[in-house]
Structure 1
Amino acid sequence: MSEQVFLLPDLGEGLTEAEIVEWRVAVGDTVTVDQSVVEVETAKAVVDVPCPYAGRVVALHGAAGETRPVGQPLITIAPADGGEPAGHATYREEERAGSGNVLIGYGTGHGAAGRRRRRPRLTVAPEPAPVPDSAPAPAPAPVAAASGPAAVPGGAVALVISPIVRRLAREHGIDPATLRGTGPGGVVRRADVEAALAGPAPAPRPTPVPDRLDAAPTGGADGPTAVGRVAVPVGEEDLVVPLTGVRRVIADKLSRSRREIPEVTIWVDADATALVETRRAINAATPDAPVSLLALLARICLSGLRRFPQLNARVDTEGQRIVQSRGVHLGIAAQTDRGLVVPVLRDAHLLTTRELAAALAGTTAAARAGTLPPARLTGGTFTLNNYGVFGVDGSTPIINHPEAALLGVGRIVDKPWVVDGQLAVRKVTQLSLTFDHRVCDGGVAGGFLRHVADCVEQPALLVANV
């Protein structure tokens, strides 16, 4: 064997593509087994991809900023001595065993041999041509995606490699079978779908193709019947920022939350003077293990969720049921250079306050550095959002779908406050609770928020619930 092509591995978590952030090597460089060769950004995290082969780099498939589908060529390695690339045989054994050496956090293996799928027999429309299972594929040839081929009248299928392409076509009412693929072997690529979108729409007279198109369904009472296109001009001085990677997932998730969840926000002002003093006393006693205000607020949230478990839930719309989680997997909203992410502390209810403080510090630091694996960014049951760090008092945040509630905390500032009938200056914060009205009514939501406010004002109440 001479050259060996390393394909972008399965990223897990339902991810089907990754954007190349930075190549760690160049053509002509010599690499070793498991050396990191490229940094990629998925929809959930930024990860380094190690190469399972050793040898000389002869080709890099894709430039920085380019999105590569899973299963497509990433890098080509040639042996320095003309033989099989070092690590090749070992890699094949590790792949069967799931060594975890290909992509940090995901693993090389794909499970037992019984889980592997045979390549389906595909024909490319409009000229059907069978592709045998045993037919060798050239290096850049695509691997059939799990979503399968698109059906074409007459028994043929359109070769569409990426679920992203299939979804894009479906959202815009385009049948992939009507497109002529420009990819290797006639594969319908994203560019082919976008070219069809940019084509002339049915109109009495020709219309110039706009710089950007926003799809909008049109139709009668029976539902959408066609896809209309509304031109949104983009000036030469406008800054166009594509929605890719984490930013795109954030946009999709927030849009879905607003579409599906009937949310309500309630709020209350609370005197946080005692909470600030409690934190100061804890840290003075044990300065080597400081506790943050966020950790104390997390402890208060956990106390509230123990008393009001209805908010530690999600709505299963397909099963028409509400699922209350037994454990609390606490999400912490964190602002990073790549956008807002919500890392999750698994089984937070089992942690002490000091353990919460340490976990929060390590998790938020890793989130801002972009080193959290995707598994740490999913599976939350309740979110705590400290938007007070931005210098604001209040907010009506969007629930982190599919969770049912989110507690927001504003900045803590000196304000006039009545204490025992006398006006005094106190540390005051605004607390807000945004909740899914399907899981509970105002009595439960108000009870939870009042309990949180009472614990903020009288931290001693926590002792009875810890």
Structure 2
Amino acid sequence: MAQVLEFKLPDLGEGLTEAEIVRWLVEVGDVVAVDQPVVEVETAKAMVEVPCPYGGVVTARFGEAGTELPVGAPLLTVAVGEPEPDRPAAPGADGHRAQPARAQAASAASTEAGSAASGGAGPSAGAADPGTEGSGNVLVGYGTSRAPARRRRVRPGPPAGANGRARAADPVDGPVPVISPLVRRLARENGLDLRELTGSGPDGLILRADVEYALRAAAAQGRTATAPARPRPGVEPARETAGAAPAAQAGAAALGAAPVTAAPGGDGVRTPLKGVRGAVADKLSRSRREIPDATCWVDADATELMRARAAMNAAGASTALNTAGVPKVSLIALLARICTAALARFPELNSAVDTEAREIVRFDRVHLGFAAQTERGLVVPVVRDAHARNAESLTAEFARLTEAARTGALTPAELTGGTFTLNNYGVFGVDGSTPILNHPEAAMLGVGRITPKPWVHEGELAVRQVVQLSLTFDHRVCDGGTAGGFLRYVADCVEQPAVLLRTV
């Protein structure tokens, strides 16, 4: 007899509490394997494909495209094992009903799918007992599991008063206590075996902060060359993962379209502030409410910077590397290089304010966010360790992240953790702006369009390529003298790129 198991929308991490269904990847009656993606959802951070931890036949789906579901709400049901003959599956929320004959024909395939995903067939080649077989490496909270006797015993986390991080544990067979697919992905991409960790969450749950701590510890001991992911500015990793408000967790994400309805009286339309739009609205409101920002600006002659870029690319065109497909150095990469050099001289602006502790948190690394316009709206991907990259490396990373933004493939990690933002609004044909800071960052450099204008050059009036630069900053982290010094240094480097070579 088949057992119908309910799969609920899992916690996708980053403090997110809801997600919107973008499209279903399976139909009612389809056979799915363990960990097969079944639905694509959109959160306030990114598009995510959600895998199902059960192998069997889909009997119901809950919600159509555009439906917004909270974490823990039913997503779909799967019939696992041998189905009862002549008994149709119950209809789902979307009105679909599984075909009995189709389910019976697929039962053997579903059993094989579950067995294959768990690493091979069990002692019996027949239908698996859902209480004794599973994927083995499941997502705690909505996954299958092996028999209780074979379940891994989760050890408690570090005692109170310790560093609050995960400690190493002896590898043990059984399911890994991980809820978030993002945590599993972070560990997989960095070659970290989750079975070697004991989580600091409830009942030994492994959190993202635990993985990041383990990666930092491994890097410190020289066991990995992968730099650990950096926590969001001003927020301790454990506090962030444990349940910070969605407004505090919402990254700079796309402002997607939302359905509209006619307002009462026919005098306008209403656009719901929910999902991505709602998360961004909450974050911008919080930034304006909490941060006493100020803006200063200056005009600069960018003629020499444009000439320097042309010279770099002309020199590169004659090398074998360029003919092999290396992209030309981009203007935003040069501006980013100038920003990181300026932040090294004025580190007060590479910081955030911890309002609860009433402390300024200054960062020793520059994770540079930049604005990228896409069909889904404006997103702000983050270039990690921008201070350690040269112009060619920055160009390549900007191109990669921009393409990922265009295709909607940016991950939540690539949209969070910035410490400073570069906003090139000149691509929209405007000269200046006073933007809202990307909370909790302390500063943002704005770059307007570069356009020919009359300019006094070497005592004579000439037509030069002029750009307006603006700096919006949190007045709590510094005064006008520091902000003005930063902006003046940036302008000097734009006007005379040789200044950059002299001062770094």
TM beyond 0.5 = yes
Give the counterpart letter for 2:38 in structure 1.
Answer: V
Q: Judging changes above 3 Å, is the alpha-carbon distance between structure 1 residues 78 and 242 closer, same or farther for their aligned structure 2 residues?
A: same
Equivalence for 2:428: 390
Query: Which among 99, 104, 107 is matched to residue 81 of structure 1?
Result: 107
**Aligned residue in 2 for 1:260:** 290
Instruction: Measure how far apart 1:51 and its partner are.
Output: 2.0
Distance 1:94 1:381 in 2: 34
Deviates more, 1:327-336 or 1:76-85: 76-85
Identity of aligned residues (%): 59
Alignment correspondent of 1:277: 307
- Partner amino acid, structure 2, of 1:439: V
Shift of residue 423 of structure 1? 1.2
Q: Residue type matched to 1:379 in 2?
A: G
d(CA) in 2 for partners of 1:429 and 1:114? 50
Contact 1:34–1:50 under 8 Å retained in 2? yes
Inter-CA distance 381–50: structure 2 relative to 1 (3 Å threshold): same
**Number of matched residues?**
360
Code of the residue aligned with 2:339 in structure 1: it is C
- For residue 260 of structure 1, report the CA deviation from its aligned partner: 0.8
Rounded to whole Å, the distance in 2 between the matches of 1:424 and 1:90 is 75
Q: Give the SS at the match of 1:91.
A: coil
Note the C-alpha offset of 1:56.
1.9
- Give the alignment's Cα RMSD to 1 decimal: 3.0
104-113 vs 312-321, which moves further: 104-113
Does the Cα contact within 8 Å between 2:12 and 2:180 map onto a contact in 1?
A: no
Deviates more, 1:439-448 or 1:85-94: 85-94
- Counterpart residue number, 1:12: 13
Q: Output aligned runs, 1:420-435, within 5 Å.
A: 420-435=458-473
- Equivalent position of 2:496 in the other structure: 458
For 1:127-146, what aligned pairs fall within 5 Å after superposition?
Answer: none
Which residue of structure 2 aligns with residue 326 of structure 1? 364
SS in 2 for 1:81: helix
1:232-271 aligned at under 5 Å gives the runs 233-236=263-266, 238-271=268-301
1:25 alignment partner, SS class: coil
Tell me what 2:135 maps to: 91
Amino acid at match of 1:19: E
The answer (yes or no) to whether the contact 2:34–2:135 under 8 Å persists in 1 is no
Other-structure match for 2:48: 47
Aligned to 1:353: 391
Matches within 5 A, 1:203-222: none
Instruction: Give the partner amino acid of 1:432.
Output: S
Q: Does 1:366 align with 2:404?
A: yes
Match of 2:63?
Answer: 62
Q: Which residue of 1 aligns with 2:26?
A: 25
CA deviations over 1:138-189 (Å, ceiling 9, x no partner): xxxxxxxx999xxxxxxxxxxxxxx88xxxxxxxxxxxxxxxxxxxxxxxxx
Conserved 8 A contact 1:11-1:106: no
Greater CA drift, 269-278 or 236-245: 236-245
- 1:223 corresponds in structure 2 to none
Give, in whole Å, the separation in 2 of the partners of 1:117 and 1:241.
42
Q: CA deviation at 1:116?
A: 4.3
CA distance in 2, matches of 1:106, 1:63: 30
Partner of 1:372, secondary structure, is coil
Deviation at 1:277?
A: 1.0
Cα deviation code 1:111-159 (max 9, x no counterpart): 74784459xxxxxxxxxxxxxxxxxxxxxxxxxxx999xxxxxxxxxxx
Distance in 2 (CA, whole Å) between partners of 1:93 and 1:388 is 48
Aligned residues of 1:330 and 1:344 also touching (Cα < 8 A): yes
Partner of 1:393: helix, strand, or coil? coil
Show structure 1 runs of 5+ residues with no match.
119-145, 149-162, 165-210, 213-231
Report the Cα offset of residue 362 of structure 1: 0.7
SS in 2 for 1:454: helix
Tell me if structure 2 keeps the 8 A contact 1:265–1:433.
Answer: yes
- Higher alpha-carbon deviation: 339-348 or 269-278: 339-348
